[in-house]
Chain A
Amino acid sequence: MIPTGIVRGALVGLSAVVLALTLLIVCIRCGRRYRQRRRERIAAPVRALLLRLLCAEEDDQSALLHRLAEIDKRTWTALEPTLTTLLGKVAGGARTALIRLYELRGAARDAVAALNSHRASRRGRAAQVLGQLAHRPAVAPLCRLLADRDPEVRLAAARALGRIGDPAAVPDLLESLHMPRSVPPGAVIRSLVSLGPGAQRQVAAGLRQEPLVRAVAIEVLGAIGAASRTSEIARALREDPETEVRIKAARALGRLGMPDGLEPLLAAVGPDRPTALRTVSVGALGSLGAVAATDRLVELLGDATPRVASTAARALLRLGPAGQGALRAVADDRAGGPASAQARAALAEVAVGGARHGVRAEVAL
C-alpha cells in the first residue's frame, strides 16, 4: 500500500509539470505570433511596393527595383520570407524582377555567408534562396551542407542543388545517401532528376557504387530517359546481387522503352525469380510496349502468384490492339480457368474505367 501523502505529492508534481508544459507551449505560440506580426508590421510599408514591382511592365520596373533595393536591413529581413515564398510561386517578368532585386541587394552573397550561420533556420532559408536564384557559385558550399547536423538543412541543400541544376553536385548528392547524416533517397532522386539528361554521365558513375546508390542511379537514369544507358541497366537487371537494384533496373527498362530491354525483362519474369522482381518486370514489359512479349504475358495470366497474373493482364492491355486481342481470346476461353478469369477482370476494369471517364466528361460539359 502506497502512503496517501506520496500519491498526493506525485499528483501535485504531475499537475505542476502539465501546467508548466502548457504555459511553455502557450508562450512559444504567443512569441511566434508576436514575431510574425512584428515582421508584418515592419514589412507593410514596402509590401505594396513589392506587389507593384511584380505587377509592373518591364519599363516601369527599374525605379521600383532601386527603391526596394535601398530599404534598410531591418525591413529587408522582415520582407525576406515573402520574397522567398513568391520566388517559388511566380514566373515570367515577376520572377525576373525578383531575381534582379536579389542581385541588386547582394542577397545571393549574403545567403552564401548565411550557409555558415549557427542557426539551422538561417542556413535552411539561405539554401532555399540560393536554390530559387539558381546561384551556381553556391554549389560547393551547398554540397558541404548535405552533411549538416540538421536534417531539414540537409534536405534544403539537396533541393537547392536540384534547382541550381549543376551536374557537378551529382557525386555529393549520391554520397549523401550513405553518410552517417544522410539525405532521404526520395529527396536525392528528385534533385538528380531535376538536373536532367545533362547529368547522365555523373549519375551513371553511381552504377558502380554501393547498393542504395546503384538503385538510386538506375531510378534516376530511367526517369530522365537516359536511353543510351540501357545496356548498363540491362546488365544490372541480369547480374546485380541485390534484388532491390534489379527491381529498379526492371522498372527503368520499362520506362526507357528501348528494344534492348526486352530480353533481360523476359528472363526476369521466370518462376525462379523473387515475386517482387517478377511483378515489376511483367509491368515493365507492358510499359515497354513490346508486342513480342505477348505470348509470354499470356502464359503469365495463369501464374500461380495472383499479383504476377493480374499485372500480366494489365501489361497486355498496354500493348495495344495485339495485347488486347490476346486478352480477349483468353477471356473467351471458358475452360481457361484462372487465366481466363484474370483476362475478364482486366477487360471489365477497362470497361468500368471508360464508363467512369464518360461520366466525368459529361459533368465537365
Chain B
Amino acid sequence: MAHVLIADDDADIRDLVAFKLAQGGHRVTAVQDGMAALKTVREQPVDMALLDIRMPRMSGLDVCRELRAAPETATLPVILITARSQEGDVEVGFAAGADDYIIKPFSPRELSSRVTALLNRVER
C-alpha cells in the first residue's frame, strides 16, 4: 500500500488517475500544480510522484529537479506524464531525474501497471 502523489492541472485526468490508483489499493493525494506538489512532498511522506509536465506555476520538470536536489526526496520514484505532441520533453525529463514517463493518451490499466512495477523495483 503506497502513498502516491498525482499532480495535474487537468481535473479529468487527475481524477481518473487517482481513481485507478485508489482502486489498486494505493492512498492517493491529488493536487493541481507543481507548487502544491512540492508542498505535499515536504509535508508528508510520499512513496511516488506522478507529475504532468505542463502545469501552471511550476512545471513537472521543475518539480522533479527540486525533488532530486533535496537529499530527503532525491530517491523518490517519479513518473512524468506528457502529451504526444510534447514527446521532446521526455529526454529533458530523464535528464531532470525522472524514472519513467507516460504519454497521453494512455490506458489507465497500463498506468497502474507502470506504477506497480516502479514501486516493486524500488522496494527490491
A-to-B contact residues, CB < 8 Å: 47-48, 51-52, 54-55, 82, 85-86, 88-95, 360, 363-364
Name the distance in Å between A129's Cβ and chain B's nearest Cβ: 15
B23 beta carbon closer than 8 Å to chain A: yes
B60 beta carbon closer than 8 Å to chain A: no
B-to-A contact residues, CB < 8 Å: 10, 12-13, 15-16, 19-20, 23, 91, 94-97, 104-110
Knowing A55-B16, A55-B23 are in contact, say whether A91-B94 is a contact too (CB < 8 A).
no
Knowing A82-B12, A89-B12, A92-B109 are in contact, say whether A360-B19 is a contact too (CB < 8 A).
no
Contact of B105 among A48, A88, A363 (CB under 8 A): A88
Name the distance in Å between B106's Cβ and chain A's nearest Cβ: 6
Given the complex of chains A and B, what is the CA–CA distance between A95 and B108 in angstroms?
10
Closest B residue, CB atoms, query A47: B15
23 intermolecular pairs with C-beta atoms under 8 Å apart: A48-B19, A51-B16, A54-B16, A54-B20, A54-B108, A55-B20, A85-B12, A89-B12, A89-B104, A89-B105, A90-B16, A90-B105, A91-B105, A91-B107, A92-B106, A92-B108, A92-B109, A93-B107, A94-B16, A94-B109, A95-B107, A363-B97, A364-B95
Q: Which residues of the other chain, A, contact B15 by a CB distance below 8 angstroms?
A: 47, 51
Q: Which residues of the other chain, A, contact B23 by a CB distance below 8 angstroms?
A: 55
Top 8 A-B pairs ranked by shortest CB distance? Answer: A92-B107, A91-B105, A51-B19, A360-B95, A364-B94, A55-B20, A91-B107, A89-B104
Contact, CB under 8 Å: A94 / B12: no
Contact, CB under 8 Å: B94 / A93: no
Contact, CB under 8 Å: A90 / B107: yes
Q: Which residues of the other chain, B, contact A52 by a CB distance below 8 angstroms?
A: 19
Given the complex of chains A and B, what is the CA–CA distance between A352 and B97 in angstroms?
22
Closest B residue, CB atoms, query A88: B105
Which of B13, B104, B109 has its CB near the most chain A CB atoms (within 10 A)? B109
Name the distance in Å between A49's Cβ and chain B's nearest Cβ: 11
Closest A residue, CB atoms, query B92: A360
Q: Known contacts A91-B110, A92-B106, A364-B95; can you find 14 more A-B pairs with CB under 8 A?
A: A52-B19, A54-B16, A55-B20, A88-B105, A89-B10, A89-B104, A89-B105, A91-B107, A92-B109, A93-B109, A94-B109, A360-B91, A363-B96, A363-B97
Closest A residue, CB atoms, query B107: A92
Contact, CB under 8 Å: A86 / B12: yes
Knowing A51-B15, A55-B108, A90-B105 are in contact, say whether A85-B10 is a contact too (CB < 8 A).
yes
Q: Which residues of the other chain, B, contact A51 by a CB distance below 8 angstroms?
A: 15-16, 19
Name the distance in Å between A296's Cβ and chain B's nearest Cβ: 32
Closest A residue, CB atoms, query B103: A91
Name the distance in Å between B13's Cβ and chain A's nearest Cβ: 6
Given the complex of chains A and B, what is the CA–CA distance between A363 and B61 in angstroms?
13
Given the complex of chains A and B, what is the CA–CA distance between A89 and B103 in angstroms?
9
Q: Which residues of the other chain, B, contact A54 by a CB distance below 8 angstroms?
A: 16, 19-20, 108
Contact, CB under 8 Å: B106 / A91: yes
Given the complex of chains A and B, what is the CA–CA distance between A363 and B65 in angstroms?
10
Contact, CB under 8 Å: B108 / A94: yes
Closest B residue, CB atoms, query A90: B105
Given the complex of chains A and B, what is the CA–CA distance between A253 and B94 in angstroms?
34
Closest B residue, CB atoms, query A86: B12
Name the distance in Å between A133's Cβ and chain B's nearest Cβ: 14
Which of A47, A55, A95, A360 has its CB near the most chain B CB atoms (within 10 A)? A55
Q: Which residues of the other chain, B, contact A95 by a CB distance below 8 angstroms?
A: 105, 107
Closest A residue, CB atoms, query B93: A364
Contact, CB under 8 Å: A92 / B94: no
Which of B12, B19, B95, B106 has its CB near the most chain A CB atoms (within 10 A)? B12
Name the distance in Å between A148's Cβ and chain B's nearest Cβ: 24
Given the complex of chains A and B, what is the CA–CA distance between A52 and B108 in angstroms?
11
Contact, CB under 8 Å: B110 / A92: yes
Contact, CB under 8 Å: B19 / A94: no
Name the distance in Å between B115's Cβ and chain A's nearest Cβ: 13
Contact of B106 among A55, A82, A90, A364 (CB under 8 A): A90
Given the complex of chains A and B, what is the CA–CA distance between A52 and B16 in angstroms?
9
